[in-house]
Amino acid sequence: MAESVGAAPYPDSGRIAARFAKLKAEGRGGLVTYVSAGDPDYDTSLEILKGLPGAGADLIELGMPFTDPMADGPAIQAAGLRALEGGQTLKKTLAMARAVREQDADVPLILMGYYNPIYCYGVDAFLEDAKAAGIDGLIIVDLPPEEDEELCIPALRAGVNFIRLATPTTDDHRLPTVLNNTSGFVYYVSILGITGTKTVEADAVREAVERIKRHTDLPVAVGFGVKTPESAKAISKVADAAVVGSAIVERVKSALDEGVEKSAIPARVLEFVASLAQGVRS
């Protein structure tokens, strides 16, 4: 099993562990939802974010907009640019998390994105503010295990889970390195390429999840290709959770393209999330 190094204990008694324990007790997989902070603007985004737990999201990934999101497909790239053009910053993203935490003490909140904004913020200051805002975990897609001293180890010492990505090309030789210092859960990228561009196949995912679980006791969540209630249902039956991101973000863009009033966008997005939640619960 994966073990921590550098005197960095796993923060294994927090909201993420509690939520996966609850899901296991209920005998079902979970729904992890991704939204891009500040898209299409701060207030609308915050209303969506606050509504996610009530719509059935079990865990929430909050995207930190960045100018060069190399792992993300067109939908999330465009969402990030809309947010940045609207003045979204990392400080504002943390403020959004804080606002959600004030109304919901239990839902796990995970920041997902790239290292550059955190580096510019300052690692120590960022972790202090993230912890104060109620952040439970980080997914930083451009920091490999070889760079653990940069952010991973400080995050673990601060009591913030560091969630790592595994991919179809992560073989059994590489997997223990990827899992070392990973906590909270493992995020399995079910397809090769960028987010939102392909459809995931449940049979292939089942084999990959079984292989990962031979190396770790951590839950495995699967994303990068889950787009519909049907696919969320299929993935949640072979993994501990299904992650939906691009399909949610696309609901924002389609509403903007149709000229929908911004005040009506949250209801549209949350209706879709509710259909995803019904899928994983059916």
Question: Residue 173: which CATH number?
Answer: 3.20.20.70
Indicate the length of the chain as a whole number. Answer: 282
Residue among 3, 43, 58, 61 flagged as catalytic:
61
State the residue range of the domain holding 162. Answer: 15-277
Residue 61: active-site member: yes
Count of CB atoms within 10 A of residue 210's CB? 12
Q: 31 in a domain, yes or no?
A: yes
Our answer to whether residue 43 is catalytic in this structure is: no
CB 264 within 8 A of CB 255: yes
| Structure confidence by residue, pLDDT tens digits, 103-139 | 999 999 999 999 999 999 999 999 999 999 999 999 9
Confidence grade of residue 142 (pLDDT, cut at 50, 70, 90):
very high
Please list, residue by residue across 168-202, b when 16 or more beta carbons sit within 10 angstroms of its beta carbon and e when fewer do.
Answer: eebeeeebeebbbbbbbbbbbbbbeebbbeeebeb
Residue 55 pLDDT > 90, yes or no?
Answer: yes
121 found inside a domain: yes
Catalytic residue among 39, 58, 72, 240: 72
In a domain, 179, yes or no: yes
Domain-embedded: residue 9: no
Q: Is the pTM of this model over 0.75?
A: yes
